[in-house]
């Protein structure tokens, strides 16, 4: 569903996210890369997804990119990337 501005509604984005996540988990690929795959889920839904990913990770490699620290709780290893935005200390 789209708004008059042409943008998707939050419900449409959530449905699209859930479909793409299900598709990624259904495929039999050896490596799964998820970038902000749970960003539109509530905490309970996100926890359920990560519990399932933990099971899948027993037989496949799973790489999760997330801004949420909670995602790291389910990881075997986590890498935190420092803030890479340019900072200009000499601004007036």
pLDDT digits over 50-59, tens only?
A: 888 888 888 8
pLDDT digits over 59-90, tens only?
A: 888 888 888 887 888 888 888 888 777 766 66
Report the pLDDT value the prediction gives residue 8, as an integer from 0 to 100.
Answer: 60
Non-local CB neighbours of 17 within 8 Å, separated by 6+ positions = 37, 39, 40, 41
What's the whole-number mean pLDDT along residues 4-33? 74
**How confident is the prediction for the chain on average, in pLDDT?**
77
């Amino acid at each position: 569903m789209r708004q008059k501005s042409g943008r998707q509604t939050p419900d449409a984005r959530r449905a699209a996210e859930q479909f793409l996540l299900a598709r990624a988990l259904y495929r039999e690929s050896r490596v799964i890369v998820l970038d902000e795959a749970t960003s539109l889920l509530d905490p309970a839904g996100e926890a359920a997804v990560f519990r399932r990913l933990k099971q899948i990770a027993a037989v496949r490699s799973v790489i999760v990119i997330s801004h949420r620290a909670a995602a790291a709780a389910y990881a075997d290893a986590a890498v935190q990337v420092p803030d890479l935005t340019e900072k200009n200390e000499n601004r007036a």
